Amino acid sequence: MAGAVAAGVALLAWGVRKLMSSSSEETESPGFYKLNFDGCDRHQLNQAGAGCIIRDSNGSLVVAAAYNLSRQNISVAEAEALRKGLQLAKQRKIKNLSIEGDSTEVIDRVLGHIDTKRSESGIYPIIEGIKKEMQGLCFRIKHIPSAHNTVAHELANIGAKDQVQKIWDCASDLPSKVAQQIEKDRNGY
């Protein structure tokens, strides 16, 4: 167990080094996939949503998903979006991930910069689940501005509004607003 923890810490340290050296506009390295995640809390609907998308190094869709969550605070919704994105990556046997999200809190908790055990929001078990999902992955993780996370944001909104789980493996099946935003991203935001 101590060896697994040490390996996880080393992997997280590698992720921090990569975090400092990457730019959100750069093309992904060949063999790396990009996972964007986002969460939303819709008080008026008494719902929350989680959205995630995985794209290949050319920016093409691998999988996108929208999840309805029972009412959660935004940090829990964001963390759940990351966990679900990692699960989708593992299901597709993706091992190399560049992870991007607009939640500094979730990223800081995953990297160990915030003591999650003292959290009262219910985020602790989700962060522990994220760390477990990351075992065996080669990853980079970084914060990006919300303006560069619009696809995942739209997917989270769909999850909250439609109150269902939806997964898309084919770009032609995506909602038009999501497909248009993917194209904008591929063309440099």
Strand bridging mode 96-101 / 33-42: parallel
Q: Which CATH superfamily is domain 2-23+32-186 in?
A: Ribonuclease H-like superfamily/Ribonuclease H (3.30.420.10)
pLDDT mean over 124-151: 95
Could you read off the pLDDT of 1-35 as tens digits, one per residue?
A: 444 433 444 344 444 434 433 333 445 677 899 99
Amino acid occupying residue 83: R
Is residue 36 within 8 A of residue 15, CB to CB? The reply is no
Could you read off the pLDDT of 64-86 as tens digits, one per residue?
A: 999 999 878 899 999 999 999 99
Give the global pTM.
Answer: 0.83
Domain boundaries along the sequence of the chain: 2-23+32-186
The C-alpha R_g of the chain, in whole angstroms, comes to: 16
Write out the two tokens for 146.
């919300």
User: Could you tell me the pLDDT band of residue 121, with boundaries at 50, 70 and 90?
Assistant: low
Q: Is the pLDDT of residue 138 over 80?
A: yes
DSSP secondary structure letter of residue 31: T
